[in-house]
Structure 1
Amino acid sequence: MLDIAKLVRQMPEIGQQMQKDAQAGLKRLEIAQKLFLQANQEQDKLIQAQEIWGDRMIFTPGIPIESLDTAIEIPEAPSSHSVFSSDGSQIAPSHHEIIYCYLINIGRIMLHYGQNLHPLLDSIPEIYYKTEDLYSAKKWGIRTEEWMGYHRTMKEVQILTEMACTWVNPPGAHFNIPNLAMTDGSLTYWFLDTLPTDAKEEILNPIIESLQQLQASKIPIVGYISASRSIDAISFLRLMACPYEVPHCTNFCSMDNEKNPCQKMEPLRDTSLWQQILQPRQRSAIFRSNSRILDCYPESQKTHFCYLHGGAEVARVEFPQWVAEDSELLNQALSITLTQIDKGFGYPVALAEAHNLAVVKGGDRTQFFSLIEEQMLRYGVKNVAVSYKEARKRGSIA
Structure 2
Amino acid sequence: MLDQLKFVEELKRKVKSMKEHAIKYPRSLKILIDLVRSPLPSANEVYALLEDFKFSSALPTDEWGFWNISPPIETKTEYQPLSEVSVEFLQEACSDSTAVAVDSSWIEPDPHIDPPFALLNIGSFYVSYERGEYIEDSIPILRIGDEVYVEKRGSKYLMSPADIDAWSFSEECRIAKSYFSGEEMFVFFDRSFSLSYLGSRAREDRENMLSLVAAKFLEMRSLNLVPIAVYFTRSRSVVNTLTRIYCSRETCSSCVHKLCKTTLEDKILMANILEPGERSPIFIENNSVLKRSTLSGKVAFFYLNTGYSVLRVEFPSWVMKSETLVRKIHRFTLAQALMCKGYPYIMARAHEKAVLRPEEREFIREKISSIVYRGTGARYFYSSKALAKRRSIV
Q: TM class by shorter-chain length? A: 0.7 to 0.9
1:304 offset after TM fit, Å? 0.6
The answer to whether residue 41 in structure 2 is matched with residue 35 in structure 1 is: no
* C-alpha distance in structure 1 between counterparts of 2:272 and 2:380, whole Å: 60
1:207 offset after TM fit, Å? 3.1
Cα gap change, 1:388 to 1:182, in 2 (>3 Å): same
Structure 1: segments with no counterpart, 5+ residues: 170-174, 247-251, 254-258
* C-alpha distance in structure 1 between counterparts of 2:260 and 2:239, whole Å: 10
Letter of the 1:158 counterpart = C
Letter of the 2:191 counterpart = G
SS of corresponding position for 2:382: coil
* C-alpha distance in structure 1 between counterparts of 2:391 and 2:121, whole Å: 28
- Equivalent residues in 2 for 1:310-349 (5 A)? 310-349=306-345
* C-alpha distance in structure 2 between counterparts of 1:229 and 1:212, whole Å: 28
Q: Report the counterpart of residue 84 of structure 2 in structure 1.
A: none
Letter of the 1:32 counterpart = L
* Offset from partner CA, 1:328-385 (integer Å, 9 cap, x none): 1111111110111011121111212212211222222222222222233224434433
SS of corresponding position for 2:54: coil
Q: Report the counterpart of residue 75 of structure 1 in structure 2.
A: 72
Q: Report the counterpart of residue 372 of structure 2 in structure 1.
A: 376
Q: Report the counterpart of residue 26 of structure 1 in structure 2.
A: 26
* C-alpha distance in structure 2 between counterparts of 1:380 and 1:43, whole Å: 69
Q: Is the 8 A contact 2:122 2:172 kept in 1?
A: no
The answer to whether residue 68 in structure 2 is matched with residue 63 in structure 1 is: no
Cα gap change, 1:96 to 1:9, in 2 (>3 Å): closer
* C-alpha distance in structure 2 between counterparts of 1:41 and 1:243, whole Å: 12
* Offset from partner CA, 1:61-109 (integer Å, 9 cap, x none): 2111122343111224143432211111111111222421211121111
Q: Is the 8 A contact 2:275 2:305 kept in 1?
A: yes
SS of corresponding position for 1:70: coil
Q: Is the 8 A contact 2:94 2:335 kept in 1?
A: no
Residue number among 353, 359, 363 corresponding to 2:359 in the alignment: 363
* C-alpha distance in structure 2 between counterparts of 1:132 and 1:111, whole Å: 34
1:286 offset after TM fit, Å? 0.9
Cα gap change, 1:131 to 1:382, in 2 (>3 Å): closer
The answer to whether residue 391 in structure 2 is matched with residue 395 in structure 1 is: yes
Cα gap change, 1:354 to 1:60, in 2 (>3 Å): same
SS of corresponding position for 2:281: coil
Question: TM-score with structure 1 length normalisation?
Answer: 0.81
Q: Report the counterpart of residue 164 of structure 2 in structure 1.
A: 149
Residue number among 128, 141, 162 corresponding to 2:177 in the alignment: 162
* C-alpha distance in structure 2 between counterparts of 1:290 and 1:260, whole Å: 28
Which stretch shows the higher mean deviation, 79-88 or 9-18?
9-18
Cα gap change, 1:298 to 1:229, in 2 (>3 Å): closer
- Equivalent residues in 2 for 1:225-374 (5 A)? 225-226=231-232, 228-243=233-248, 263-264=259-260, 266-294=262-290, 295-297=292-294, 302-374=298-370
Q: Is the 8 A contact 1:81 1:113 kept in 2?
A: yes
Q: Is the 8 A contact 1:183 1:222 kept in 2?
A: yes
* C-alpha distance in structure 2 between counterparts of 1:224 and 1:337, whole Å: 9
* C-alpha distance in structure 1 between counterparts of 2:302 and 2:278, whole Å: 10
Cα gap change, 1:193 to 1:24, in 2 (>3 Å): closer
SS of corresponding position for 2:111: coil
The answer to whether residue 49 in structure 2 is matched with residue 50 in structure 1 is: yes
* Offset from partner CA, 1:1-49 (integer Å, 9 cap, x none): 55656655667656554443332211111122233344x4323463242
Q: Is the 8 A contact 2:116 2:148 kept in 1?
A: no
1:223 offset after TM fit, Å? 0.9
- Equivalent residues in 2 for 1:218-229 (5 A)? 218-226=224-232, 228-229=233-234
* C-alpha distance in structure 2 between counterparts of 1:269 and 1:27, whole Å: 14
Cα gap change, 1:224 to 1:131, in 2 (>3 Å): same
Q: Is the 8 A contact 1:108 1:123 kept in 2?
A: yes
* C-alpha distance in structure 2 between counterparts of 1:126 and 1:260, whole Å: 56
Aligned-residue sequence identity (percent) comes to 24
Q: Report the counterpart of residue 180 of structure 1 in structure 2.
A: 186
Q: Is the 8 A contact 1:108 1:122 kept in 2?
A: yes
* C-alpha distance in structure 1 between counterparts of 2:157 and 2:37, whole Å: 46
Letter of the 1:25 counterpart = Y
Aligned-pair Cα RMSD in Å: 3.3
Q: Is the 8 A contact 1:154 1:203 kept in 2?
A: no
Question: TM-score with structure 2 length normalisation?
Answer: 0.82
Cα gap change, 1:132 to 1:193, in 2 (>3 Å): farther
1:260 offset after TM fit, Å? 11
Q: Is the 8 A contact 1:88 1:107 kept in 2?
A: yes
SS of corresponding position for 1:41: coil
Q: Is the 8 A contact 2:107 2:118 kept in 1?
A: yes
* Offset from partner CA, 1:130-164 (integer Å, 9 cap, x none): 53641424648976222333323432542354134
Residue number among 382, 385, 394 corresponding to 1:386 in the alignment: 382
1:120 offset after TM fit, Å? 1.6
* C-alpha distance in structure 1 between counterparts of 2:194 and 2:15, whole Å: 36
* C-alpha distance in structure 1 between counterparts of 2:47 and 2:376, whole Å: 70
1:126 offset after TM fit, Å? 1.4
Q: Report the counterpart of residue 256 of structure 1 in structure 2.
A: none
Q: Report the counterpart of residue 249 of structure 1 in structure 2.
A: none
* C-alpha distance in structure 2 between counterparts of 1:74 and 1:179, whole Å: 20
